[in-house]
Amino acid sequence: MEKEVIHMAHGAGGQLMYDLIREVFAIPLDNLYLRQMADSTVVQPDAQPHPPRLAISTDSFTVRPLFFPGGDIGSLAVHGTVNDVAMSGARPLWLTAGFILEEGLEIAVLERIVASMAEAARAAGVQVVAGDTKVVERGYGDSVYINTTGIGVVPASVEVGPRCIRPGDALLLNGPIGDHGIAVLSQREGFAFETTLCSDSAALNGLVEALLAAAPHTHCMRDATRGGVAAALNELALAAQCGIEIEEAAVPVRTAVAAACEMLGFDPLTVANEGKLIAFVPQENGEAEAALTAMQSHPLGRDAVHIGVVTEEHPRLVLARTAIGGRRVVDMPVGELLPRIC
């Protein structure tokens, strides 16, 4: 049996699986919790209020290719779930990681991915506390799929969510959009084009902390992943039963992204991001300005901008004021723009 690739036996619950877990997963991801090696890991949040409110989120990652400019499936699996937890205003603390490995995967590739996860988790200040490995036969997977589930604690003072959105809220975006989608697409067979563009994949929990410190009455935050800013805003307009109006020219788009979108017929507003959030902040008492300044002072928000406002008009509808002064409806994207982008 070849030692350097994944075999069905690596998923069978026996000695080979334990060796794989110990050597490939437990060492790079090591922490006291993971070392419990029980059926489940016991953690204890030390937080106010008691009992704490917990934010829980799950995401499976099937991105293709596994490695792309600015990241890989391992760092993405950490960032994506950390961000979903952070969007509740929670401090992300713990992740679980479930791997579905395809028979024949090179173990060296898996090691690179796990090292990248470990580094991303360290940088984001979260611990991988539980894991699982399954192996499927060749032709029933695609090298590696990763599910991460994140658990965080919501500080006592924080109250954010779609239900808190109010007319008049300013919409703040932390930087240029579409980098992740176009960077991944640039690596695909059939699309491969030259670009120096990198994915924006990043853990936003630090930015969220800075934002909430400056603007504690922030009403809602959402990261604009699959479906891009267009999907995020449509979801929230629907959930909050409010209208949303954005200034199209205010939304930053890098030249490389704009060019690729032009060429491919994409609207940058529908392209995926993995390190961009939209914050809904009340304009009263200068909170929106304070939030914008705080974001701009953070490395992941240097290019933060005010892109729009929540309105009582046209409930459930997202409109964009175009550069030439008109207004267009920003629809929920229908479907298949870029499959397997995350």
Based on the number of CB atoms within 10 Å of its own CB, is 258 exposed (0-12), middle (13-18) or buried (19 or more)?
Answer: middle
Footprint on residues 2-61 left by a copy of itself (CB under 8 A) = 7-18, 36-47, 50-61
- Name residues contacting a copy of itself, limited to 87-126 (CB under 8 A): 87-88, 90, 94, 96-100
Buried b / exposed e over 64-80, threshold 16 CB at 10 Å, is: eebbbbbbbbbbbbbbb
Nearest approach, Cβ of 57 to a copy of itself (angstroms)? Answer: 3
- Within residues 219-248, the interface with a copy of itself by CB under 8 A covers 222-223, 225-228, 231, 235, 239
Residue 97 CA: distances (Å) to CA of 21, 204, 283: 12, 19, 39
Closest to a copy of itself by CB, 59 vs 169, is 59
Cis ω for the linkage preceding 155 (within 30 of 0): no
Question: Least CB distance from residue 286 to a copy of itself, whole Å?
Answer: 27
Considering only CA atoms, which of 7, 158, 168, 189 is closest in space to residue 88?
A: 158
Assess 190 for contact with a copy of itself (CB under 8 A). Answer: no
Asked if 265 touches a copy of itself (CB under 8 A), the answer is: no
Closest CA to 59 of 94, 95, 101, 11: 95
The stretch near a copy of itself (CB under 8 A) out of 113-121, 166-174, 195-203, 334-342 is 334-342
Straight-line distance from the first to the last Cα atom of the chain, in angstroms, rounded to the nearest whole number: 33
Q: Is residue 141 close enough to count as binding a copy of itself by CB under 8 A?
A: yes
Query: Which tokens is 280 given?
Result: 């809904």
Q: Is 218 in the site for a copy of itself (CB under 8 A)?
A: no
Instruction: Give least dist CB 48 to a copy of itself, A.
Output: 9
Q: Does 142 bind a copy of itself (CB under 8 A)?
A: yes
Near a copy of itself by CB under 8 A: residue from 71, 161, 275, 301: 161
> Of 101 and 197, which has the nearer Cβ to a copy of itself?
101
